[in-house]
Amino acid sequence: MPFSIKHLALAVQYLAIALFIWIAVGLFWQMLTPNQTSSVLRLAQPAPNTQSFNPEAVLRLFKTGSAVSNDSHGLSLKALISGRDGIAIIEGLEASAVAVKVGAEVGQYGKLVAAMKDHIVLERSGVQSKVYLPASAPTSLNPAAISTAAPIQANTPTNNTEAATITLSRGQLTGILQGGNLANWSKGLGTSQAGGILVEQANQQQLAQVLQLRDGDILKAINGRPLNKLDDLSLLYGAFSQQTNLSLLIQRQDKPQTISYTVNP
């Protein structure tokens, strides 16, 4: 019996020594290879971070205006009367151009919040974007632009007549865009083969009536800025929305004529 107890105690002692050696070897192994273990754990961490990081999304935080402007590329600004109660003629919303007043909704593009001299400002979900007049439209007309009218007209015949000054209000221009069939903002007008905006049917175009134009008149320049095609009608609206004294060069019955306008607020 004493031998069996002694043998059992010895066996337990050997097992304890073996367990201690196994634990010591394990700790020693971990001390020798810490970098390998850490690198394995750290390699798994960046993977979800890389997937969740979107550089384009971060870029949009700093360039939200240009990002939303891309959504407005389907719109085209054809004519504009600037101001707090401004009106914009916009293509791309419906089958044909429509007029939108400041403060009104512009479909999926948000709301028209401002009508400036050469562009409009749209706002959607607190983010603003801009739509500009065509590249040919002036950003700002000034006396220097008016003074260039003389050289442009210098080559015209000397029998260029000048009609009496016509006085109108800016409210009349706004009324043209607000009233009638807004989709036909250019109805009765066309592009002349010789260059310019042709008045085909003045009785169908309120703008022609307000400006006292006649059938067959060809609009050639406004304040010295050439009017080459129907799309340049935006130049005409732009000039009348910004200036108080205007000079419209037309061709009437094959003769050049200048009509002067004074626009009251």
Q: In a structure prediction context, what are the per-residue pLDDT tens digits for the chain, which is 265 residues long?
A: 555 777 777 777 888 888 888 888 777 777 776 555 444 444 444 444 444 444 444 334 333 333 334 456 688 887 777 788 788 888 888 877 788 889 999 988 999 999 888 889 999 999 999 998 875 444 333 333 333 333 344 344 446 667 678 998 877 877 776 665 455 667 889 999 999 999 999 998 888 888 999 999 999 999 999 999 988 887 887 788 778 899 999 999 999 999 999 988 7
Which residues have C-beta within 8 Å of that of residue 28, sequence separation ≥ 6?
Answer: none
Under CATH, which number does the domain 143-264 receive?
2.30.42.10
Rounded (5°) CA angle 173-175-234: 40
Q: What predicted TM-score, i.e. pTM, was given to this entire model?
A: 0.53
Closest CA to 235 of 245, 246, 225, 250: 225
The highest-level CATH class for domain 64-132 is mainly beta
DSSP letter for each residue of 95-113: SS-EEEETTSB-GGG-EEE
Local structure of residue 164 (DSSP, 8 states) = P
pLDDT for res 19? 82
Report the Cα 185 to chain-centroid distance in Å.
21
Beta strands of the chain (E only): which ranges? 76-81, 87-91, 98-101, 111-115, 119-124, 127-132, 161-162, 166-169, 189-191, 197-199, 218-222, 225-226, 245-252, 255-264
DSSP line for 133-161? PPTTS-S---HHHHHTHHHHHHTS-TT-E
On the CB side of 72, CA atoms within 13 Å amount to 26
In angstroms, rounded to a whole number, what is the distance separating the alpha carbons of residues 7 and 11? 6
Instruction: Give dist(CA 185, CA 180) in Å, integer.
Output: 9
